[in-house]
Structure 1
Amino acid sequence: MKTDLTDTTASKINKALVLGRRAIGTPAVGMVLTLVIVTDEENAYDALKAASDAAHEHPSRTLVVIKRVSRSPRDRTRSRLDAEVRLGADAGTGETIVLRLYGDVVDHAQSVVLPLLLPDAPVVVWWPVNAPLDPAKDPLGALAQRRITDLYANRDPLGVLQARIRSYVPGDTDLAWTRLTLWRSILAAALDQARLEVTSAAVEAEAENPSAELLARWLEVRLRVPVQRVATPGPVITAVRLGTDEGEIVIDRPEGAPATLDLPGRPTRTLALMVRPTAELIAEELRRLDADDTYAVALRGQGSGAGEGAAHV
């Protein structure tokens, strides 16, 4: 069920939600959080598709905030709120409200979003593009327990990474870090099997790759060794090499999902190390709503005081 509202208000949107639930016989219970997606018109479809897929695991109320800039100078000062309220088959397992803001209300999006949040439920804000440098101080970010950004959406991801280091507060996270989950799991398992002291390390990836930089920072803290950054043609991260007195521990993924794991004195193993879609990344982030302390360690790199010894990454 889909209801279009033009030049509306938050109270009218809430009323449309109640009427829609009655019409299709769907209660509001069962939704576990409110996911606020702040995006532009160009990226709204892909972001909403990823959120809808993630909602199969995490039923939620999804608020898509699209800030529209009017071309006419006269219209730029006229506030208007248009909305699409989607329930039932049009919203998957939860509720979806697409909000298009015009004029002065663009600068006060939090006043529109606040009355639409699920009561007594966590709030997560996700910026697929154009994220603020300090998400926690953003008016919408201040409403959330978790704030999700994506360094890949920036022209200068490593420059933005430096800004995020300075602005980090518990609750911040980034999909560039979430993309490393499989790499981190395989590295931890490899070191548990090998039980060797790591004396050197290198991360090989395409130039300016933010995930590679986060992985290198995390390894520097956990292994207490310098990590060399090696530029390759890609795609994304292509290899991690850990030097030991008995030989190299190598995870090599030169051309996509198939990867190999080499441990000293053991046969080569083939692994499935795929590049995961955005829906899987968002679903992973929604599984935990507390602070991601490991991300904070990786973000700050050496000197964070969180090193734990060579065999425990």
Structure 2
Amino acid sequence: MIIDLPDTTTAAVTKALVRLRDEGGAVALGRVLTLVIDADGGDVEPAVAAANDASREHPCRVIVLARDTTRTTASLDAQIRVGGDAGASEVVVLRASGEILAHSDTLVMPLLLPDAPIVLWWPFEVPDRPADHPIGAMAQRRITDTLACADPAASLVRLRSGYTAGDTDLAWTRLTRWRGLLAAALDQPPHEKVTRAVVSGHHTHPSVVLLAAWLAHALRCPVEIVRQRDVQGITKVVLERASGNVVIDRPDGRVALLDQPGQPERRTAMPMRELHECLAEELRRLDPDEVYGEVLHDGLSRIGAA
């Protein structure tokens, strides 16, 4: 069900939510967090769709802030989506213009779930310092996505300089399977030092840079990035050791081949991760991701990326 509230106020939106809760029973009381999506002038629908899918694992209230580019005066249009149009969440889309946009915290505050964690997600361009954003200052977690930025490399540098505990980026989340597979390979004998690592992948993909930074930080060895075109994400990682190389090769973006000295080649499914998968993973944890912070500060410096 979709309810449109043109030229409205947050007080009117709150009353409409209460009325829907009273009519639909206590279902709205089962939300475990508030997810705020700061979409600015971008298309909100892909972000809402990802949030709806993620909400099936983490029931939440989703508040979407969008810029109304058709107006210059202060105005607010709202839309409430519940039921089949909102997954396991309830979605409030706020399209604001004029000076209202300068006070996004006061716009959102009346709609936050009481006594529930707040997560803020920027699905497009990232702010210089997420924790200094009016809503970011209230949030337990702040999620960015440098893959969606016009200049991913420059965005990573900005996030590094403005990092605060509680920040994370979906380009880092996309590495979970790669990191797990690499760690598992190195846990097997022979337990030799990695003397050099090579990471190959798309020339602008931020996950390529972050994986190289993680390896440099964790292994304390030189790491080379091979930048490719006409590929998807990360395609290959080589860890050089005295007894032979550990190689993970994913040329097609779907199946990875693990080759280790003295062991048969292993095939494992490793498809490109969908947006909703990454978002759901980040919503599982509300504590700071300390490793991500260490990779930003130490790892990027080691590979000369920041």
Pick the TM interval, shorter chain. over 0.9
What's the counterpart of residue 211 of structure 1?
Answer: 207
For 1:302 and 1:270, how far apart are their aligned partners in 2?
A: 29
What's the counterpart of residue 10 of structure 2?
Answer: 10
Structure 2 letter corresponding to 1:215: L
**1:172 and 2:187 are equivalent in the alignment:** no
* Equivalent in 223, 234, 257 of residue 219 of structure 2: 223
Structure 1 letter corresponding to 2:260: L
Q: Secondary structure at the match of 1:16?
A: helix
For 1:42 and 1:169, how far apart are their aligned partners in 2?
A: 25
What's the counterpart of residue 308 of structure 1?
Answer: none
Q: Quick one: percent identity of the two aligned structures? A: 48
C-alpha RMSD over aligned residues = 1.6
For 2:172 and 2:287, how far apart are their aligned partners in 1?
A: 16
What's the counterpart of residue 65 of structure 1?
Answer: 65
Is the 1:21–1:87 contact (alpha carbons within 8 Å) kept by the matching residues of 2? no
**1:299 and 2:301 are equivalent in the alignment:** no
For 1:81 and 1:119, how far apart are their aligned partners in 2?
A: 23
**1:143 and 2:138 are equivalent in the alignment:** yes
* Equivalent in 249, 258, 272 of residue 275 of structure 1: 272
* Equivalent in 88, 91, 100 of residue 86 of structure 2: 91
Shift of 1:2: 2.5
What's the counterpart of residue 289 of structure 1?
Answer: 286
What's the counterpart of residue 43 of structure 2?
Answer: 43
* Equivalent in 189, 196, 200 of residue 192 of structure 2: 196
For 1:257 and 1:19, how far apart are their aligned partners in 2?
A: 46
Shift of 1:140: 2.0
Alignment length (residue pairs): 300
For 1:304 and 1:106, how far apart are their aligned partners in 2?
A: 36
Q: Identify the range of structure 1 (102-111 vs 39-48) with the bigger mean alpha-carbon deviation.
A: 39-48
Q: What are the ranges of 5 or more consecutive residues in structure 1 without an aligned counterpart?
A: 306-313
For 1:11 and 1:45, how far apart are their aligned partners in 2?
A: 24
Q: Secondary structure at the match of 1:125?
A: strand
Shift of 1:155: 2.1
Structure 1 letter corresponding to 2:101: V
Is the 1:260–1:270 contact (alpha carbons within 8 Å) kept by the matching residues of 2? yes
Is the 2:125–2:150 contact (alpha carbons within 8 Å) kept by the matching residues of 1? no
What's the counterpart of residue 55 of structure 2?
Answer: 55
Q: Identify the range of structure 1 (100-109 vs 181-190) with the bigger mean alpha-carbon deviation.
A: 100-109
For 2:300 and 2:124, how far apart are their aligned partners in 1?
A: 30
For 2:175 and 2:299, how far apart are their aligned partners in 1?
A: 18
Structure 1 letter corresponding to 2:117: P
For 1:120 and 1:26, how far apart are their aligned partners in 2?
A: 17
For 1:164 and 1:87, how far apart are their aligned partners in 2?
A: 34
Q: Secondary structure at the match of 1:51?
A: helix
